[in-house]
Amino acid sequence: MVELKINDKIIQVPAGTTILEAARSAGFSIPSMCYLKGQSNHPSCMICVVKDRKNGSIFPSCAMPVNEGMDIISEDDEIRDMRKQSLELLLSDHVGDCEAPCQLSCPAHMDIPLMNRLIGANKFEEAIRIVKNDIALPFILGYICPAPCENACRRKQINAPVSICLLKRSTAQFSNFEEPKTKPNGKKIAIIGSGVAGLSLAYFLQLYGFSCDIFEKNKEIGGSLRYDISEEILPKRILDIEIEGIKKLGASFYCSSDFNPSFYEEKIKNRYSALIISTGVSTQDFSWLVEVDKNGIVINEKNFLTSVSNIYACGSVVKKQKMAIRTAAHAKQLANIIANIQTEKKQFNSRFAKLTKAELPEYLKESVSNNRNNSIDHLTGFSIQEAIEEAKRCLHCDCRKKDACKLRDYSTLYSAQQNSYNIGSRKEMTKQFDHSFVVYEAEKCIRCGLCVDIASSEKDALGLTFIGRGFNVRVQVPFNAKLEDALKTTALKCIESCPTGALAKII
């Protein structure tokens, strides 16, 4: 056995153990990308560097065996900085979008490409599940959203953007979606106003186990959705369908409720664990209750709390919102805050600008060439078949590994920037689809060699190989054969082991 210190902890491990494995066995986490236990090791990514406390030298821990008496530091500022630099070097010639441009420009951050894939596969029930993760009222918003996502849609470069907003509506139109019943948590929330904000809040809060009472000053539920938007834009029956869904979740509505000081004293104060003011653009004066300024109710931007504890405000009553989808997104954020659901740290996003001419056919490999169907009537929307056809126009700009990519996760962790090193013009994206379930995108490869090693050590048919030299080296199928012929038995293991989205499963 060899005795050494890692972060001042004395440990003993068998001779030949790498510092990386020794540290992990002692409970210290060290990031790795090109290393995989059991595979031969060609250190290249340099994310696993650690420091020798005695002489200050920094080296890759995946390649260094332990020595008697070593004194190792697994992470400090200098190491973090080196890791960040290594990531930035890899990112400098990395081409891909982690999240699609449409998703990044949707205020609710809906997973649009996944919705499109599911609609394209005639899976409307699954598609609405994806939509409802972020948008409580897809049927209503399918009529009134100005669709900022469509402005950002890559498909514009070929002919016209994908009709994302109508597709979202089609998920509500063509599914019989019932929310699962959630267990009440015993807490009651009062919501003032039943427009986009109030309804969306009630939807998410009920799902999280709160019981919601919604107070509306008008005779009917819906706020500006009912009273300010014409039947030609948003039919009342659509509004009623989504209100019904929220009632089914258990929310109670009280119409003709004038929210004034005596109403507050008699009906609300001390009866609820929280109160949310979501009355939309309102001429009502709330200064008797909370602090207001010329734009609306003053809130803490981080937690949407007003100047009074347990009183929140949401939507246009805080600041006039031009787009209902922004209000819908605020409502979900606030529901998450109230339910104490941690929203993740903003994730790293690899991005590249427009597609080049040569890239258009690469992206079209996964799509169809037809133009957007512009003959769709606003009120009727798509038929099932039309929706499926439109969804198939999507280019699937997102990365299939966006939730399982080490390069993305570590870039988030170490706050790596994509453009720290300028290497001139970017490489052009290629997409290899000649396998029944694998897609290979060479410009996302960090040349770790794991797939080459796995296919060769497990004696797969042809396997993969490195070609070229230096900066231009790339992984490829030998003899210009098909990926299908190269990865016959190890495809899944290669996908799982690939630290990026270079090798991914087509879904």
Q: Which of 439, 441, 481, 443 is nearest to 464 (CA)?
A: 481
CA–CA separation, 373 and 388 (whole Å) = 12
Which residue lies nearer to ligand SF4 by CB, 4 or 91?
A: 91
The interface partner of residue 100, options being ligand FES, ligand SF4, none and the CB cut-off 5 to 8 Å by kind, is ligand SF4
Count of CB atoms within 10 A of residue 200's CB? 31
Residue from 212, 214, 299, 399 in contact with ligand SF4 (CB under 6 A): 399
CA angle 453, 414, 52 (to 5 degrees): 75
The SS3 call for residue 19 is: helix
Write a three-state SS string for 333-350: HHHHHHCCCCCCCCCCCC
Structure tokens at 468: 């070229």
Interface segment toward ligand SF4; rule CB under 6 A; list 89-97, 119-127, 226-234, 237-245: 89-97
Binding status of residue 94 toward ligand SF4 by CB under 6 A: yes
Instruction: Sketch the per residue contact string, 125 through 154, with ligand SF4: x for CB under 6 A, - otherwise.
Output: ----------------------------xx
DSSP secondary structure string, 81-122? HHHHHHHHHHHHT----SS-HHHHH-TT---HHHHHHHHHTT
Distance CA 417, CA 92 (A): 9
How many residues appear in the chain? 507
Backbone angles phi, psi at 188, to 5 degrees: -115, 140
Kindly state the smallest distance separating residue 29's Cβ from ligand FES, in Å: 13
Q: Which residue has the tokens 């907003």?
A: 165
Q: Which of 395, 438, 486, 487 forms a contact with ligand SF4 (CB under 6 A)?
A: 395
Whether 331 and 317 have beta carbons less than 8 Å apart is answered as: no
Binding partner selected for residue 280 from ligand SF4, ligand FES, none, CB under the kind-specific 5 to 8 Å limit: none
Residue placing its CB nearer to ligand FES in the complex, 33 or 234: 33
Please, are residues 160 and 371 in contact by the beta-carbon 8 Å criterion?
Answer: yes
378 by Cβ neighbours in 10 Å (0-12 / 13-18 / 19+) ranks as exposed
Which x/- pattern over 32-71 shows residues binding ligand FES (rule: CB under 6 A)?
xxxx-------xxxxxx-----------x-x---------
What, of ligand FES, ligand SF4, none, does residue 447 touch, CB below 5 to 8 Å by kind?
Answer: ligand SF4
Task: Please choose which of ligand FES, ligand SF4, none residue 101 contacts, taking the beta carbon within 5 to 8 angstroms, the exact cut-off set by kind.
Answer: ligand SF4
Q: With respect to ligand SF4, which residue has the nearer C-beta, 49 or 165?
A: 165
Return the number of the residue (17 or 32) whose C-beta is nearest ligand FES.
32
Q: Is 128 one of the binding residues for ligand FES (CB under 6 A)?
A: no
d(CA 1, CA 246): 64
Residue 316 touching ligand SF4 (CB under 6 A):
no
47, interface contact from ligand SF4, ligand FES, none, CB < 5-8 Å by kind: ligand FES
Judged by the rule CB under 6 A, the positions of this chain that interact with ligand SF4 are: 94, 96-98, 100-102, 112-113, 116, 153-155, 162, 164, 350, 394-399, 401-402, 405, 407-408, 444-451, 475, 497-503
Residues found near ligand FES in the complex (CB under 6 A): 32-35, 43-48, 60, 62
